[in-house]
Structure 1
Amino acid sequence: MPLQIRDPHGASRAVAYLMLAAGVYNFVTGVLMKLGAPIFELIALGVASAAFSLTGVACLRRPGKLPRAFWLSVPFLSSGVVTGLNLATQDTSTGAQLFYLWPLLYAASYLSRVMIGATVATISAGHALVAFTFMDVGAALNDWIAITVAMAMTALVVAGLVERNDRLRDVLEVQAGSDSLTGLANRRTFDEWLGTTATAAAHGGAPLALVMIDVDHFKNINDTWGHATGDRALRTVADALRAAAPGEDHLVARLGGDEFAVLLRAGPQEAIGYAEQARAVVMATDGLPGGPPQLSIGVAVLPGHATTGEELQRVADAALYQAKAGGRGRSVLAGATPAGTASYP
């Protein structure tokens, strides 16, 4: 998106520290070290120093009070300030031009490619104004082309590095929230979802069903056929839980070992229907030496069986233990008597 701001917190800190440093630097080098300069120049630099410092304090202490447009305009405002100071001091030196690096790096680090291109164009135009004002045409042209190319190349390199870093971070976030064997969400992600969705359901949102699943006699599968077959059985169950889940507003997770959990936006009967559909998908698979694994399933719904996420998990666990106690290989809805896989109140 052209107007996207990447990492607003980092952007606000970057602007704050720069403005505070610029305020001090400008006051020392532009005022204290040039006390014999024309009074108008000293006043202008003093006012600029104060403005930098106040802006830095605002960005550091109250970044949320500043409008979104401010953060988008920062590279253009700062490029304009650098150009204005270079014009006021008639400074065409390399040191003066290096100050353009800050708005460039800010845009490349926190803004979109469109805004980065616009920043490079602004810097190029600002430097052209200074160079062609105080240098002869030939030297100004060479200097302007060199600065424009250097800024454009720097922007490309930095933006590429930032985008690569973003992609790597996204991959790490996915890996941190996923189970490596099955590709399902892990317990960390499940806990986050349960907290968020349970709160929404408790405050009048769509009902939330929690389906807890255990693979029956999973230790026997490992002991009889080996861990590789046990892993295949777990992946079979994971694939079935994914395939049976309706729509996209759900979470399928492996909590650890042979324990799975599914969060659904569904009422009691729909959740039980999902549990039986998942069991049917598992039973229809072949290729495992001991045949498809059986599942014990407990189902609870908020509101109805619980009022909080913690309570929902506790009630669903109780229903799961009820299914195991009733002979395994069946689904039990919280509060119901286990009666096989197809009979529910």
Structure 2
Amino acid sequence: MSSVMPGLMALVMFSLARGFPANIRGVGHWASGALVVSISAMLLALRGGIADWLSIVVANVGMILGTGLWLIGSQMFFGQRPARRFIALLLVVGVIAMSWMTWVHPSITGRTLCMCAILTATYGLNSLTMLRFGKGSHSATFVGSMQLLQTLATALRGITMFVPAWASTGLFAPDLIQRIYLTTGALMSLTVCVGLLFVAMDRLRNQLEQQSFMDSLTGLLNRRAFLGVHQQEREKTMRTGGLLTLLLIDLDHFKQVNDTYGHATGDRVLIDFATRVAEMLPAPHHVARWGGEEFAVLLPRATPDEAKEHAERIRQRVAQKEDAALPAYTCSIGVSCMAASEATIEQLARDADEALYRAKRSGRNCVQVSDHVILL
């Protein structure tokens, strides 16, 4: 059963991987690794009942390939360079060593030491990848921890081969260390497969959650998420007392940019603007794409003078041409500021929009503050 279950989990992962976004990489390698490990484990379990070239050479090399695919999948999943050449080298070593110590110079001890060394390397590197790059993910930490236990058990099996009293005489030798090694391998293979599946599902869920509150082009909050942030900040500020400030920012003559340079350049301008604004505002702040070429900035507890100063800094920074590959562009900004108890998003947006309209009528590339600023 311990041999069959990873194969069944592989089929599940193969099915799910087909529906995953292209930027979630490595799941197919995990599935392939699980399937290879499952087949190899079944061949190992048939030792003595089938030909040695299947139960020894193919089975052991299959274990190297399967765990190597897990490692490559993990590296791809976390955006690291996959160690394909290293795994290929281990496979060559495994084929030569298993063949030599099966037919030329038969040695159970030699085969065990060789496989323990190779599997310790693949298990250990996969564990390191999961624990190092999967920080913040409980599923990745779990898989990394399980692989670490498997690494230790495999290394222990290799070390004990040098102790005559503990050195096994075969795969199914009844000594305690071999039982621990086989039991750990059986349990961990299934556990790791399930864990990898959860790691992939966590990544997919996080991406879907991000897509629900982030603008796909600029990476800023979308309007829906911005409304939620405003509500949270308003409730917080009402408890402590203070002001809420909203900046509505519109890129001047943006339609001309699209018409003259094309929509691809227009998108790059939007991304450039979002990047520059997000990095220059003080914490806490929230920036969102309000719609089209219009952006919104929420500044909790900023006074009207501070809000106007921030808006002016944004206007001046945007007016500076920093990317030679992009056309020069400017922005107009409307500012509204009021007590949190009065600062509904509708009122803030209405006042900021009126101020923005005045900025456009004043020749654009300027900042206007609402005439209805409500102080504490």
Matched, 1:113 2:142: yes
Q: TM-score, normalised by structure 1?
A: 0.52
Report SS of the residue matched to 2:205.
helix
Report SS of the residue matched to 1:271.
helix
Instruction: Measure, in 2, the Cα distance between the counterparts of 1:144 and 1:236.
Output: 57
Report the counterpart of residue 236 of structure 1 in structure 2: 272
> Could you give the per-residue CA deviations for residues 61-80 of structure 1, whole angstroms, max 9, x where no partner exists?
xxxxxxxxxxxxxxxxxxxx
Matched, 1:169 2:188: no
Matched, 1:307 2:307: no
Report the counterpart of residue 38 of structure 1 in structure 2: none
Q: CA deviation at 1:188?
A: 2.2
Q: Name the Cα RMSD after superposition.
A: 3.6
Q: CA deviation at 1:288?
A: 6.2
Q: Is the 8 A contact 2:143 2:195 kept in 1?
A: no
Q: CA deviation at 1:116?
A: 7.9
Instruction: Measure, in 2, the Cα distance between the counterparts of 1:115 and 1:236.
Output: 38
Q: 1:153 aligns with which of 189, 193, 196?
A: 189
Instruction: Measure, in 1, the Cα distance between the counterparts of 2:180 and 2:325.
Output: 74
Structure 1 counterpart of 2:285, which letter? H
Larger radius of gyration: 1
Structure 2 counterpart of 1:294, which letter? T
Matched, 1:330 2:369: no
Instruction: Measure, in 2, the Cα distance between the counterparts of 1:288 and 1:260.
Output: 23
Instruction: Measure, in 2, the Cα distance between the counterparts of 1:116 and 1:234.
Output: 43
Structure 1 counterpart of 2:348, which letter? L
Q: CA deviation at 1:149?
A: 3.5
Q: 1:254 aligns with which of 289, 302, 307?
A: 289
Report the counterpart of residue 282 of structure 1 in structure 2: 318
> Could you give the per-residue CA deviations for residues 156-192 of structure 1, whole angstroms, max 9, x where no partner exists?
2212221222123223322332222222222222122
Q: CA deviation at 1:144?
A: 7.3
Structure 2 counterpart of 1:113, which letter? F
Report SS of the residue matched to 1:327.
coil
Q: CA deviation at 1:297?
A: 0.7
Q: Is the 8 A contact 1:201 1:302 kept in 2?
A: no
Structure 2 counterpart of 1:260, which letter? F
Report SS of the residue matched to 1:203.
helix
Q: TM-score, normalised by structure 2?
A: 0.48
- Structure 1 residues 222 and 141, CA, compared in 2 at 3 Å: closer, same or farther? closer
Instruction: Measure, in 2, the Cα distance between the counterparts of 1:287 and 1:140.
Output: 67
- Structure 1 residues 219 and 138, CA, compared in 2 at 3 Å: closer, same or farther? closer
Q: CA deviation at 1:305?
A: 9.4
Structure 2 counterpart of 1:240, which letter? R
Q: Is the 8 A contact 2:221 2:288 kept in 1?
A: yes
Report the counterpart of residue 98 of structure 2 in structure 1: none
Instruction: Measure, in 2, the Cα distance between the counterparts of 1:291 and 1:150.
Output: 61
> Could you give the per-residue CA deviations for residues 174-231 of structure 1, whole angstroms, max 9, x where no partner exists?
2332222222222222122122112222333553221110112211222233223322
Instruction: Measure, in 1, the Cα distance between the counterparts of 2:174 and 2:272.
Output: 73
- Report the count of equivalent residues: 213
Report SS of the residue matched to 2:365.
coil
Q: Could you list the runs of 5+ residues in structure 1 that have no partner in the other structure? A: 1-108, 122-136, 338-345
Q: Is the 8 A contact 1:209 1:271 kept in 2?
A: yes
Q: Could you list the runs of 5+ residues in structure 2 that have no partner in the other structure? A: 1-137, 151-172
Matched, 1:212 2:254: no
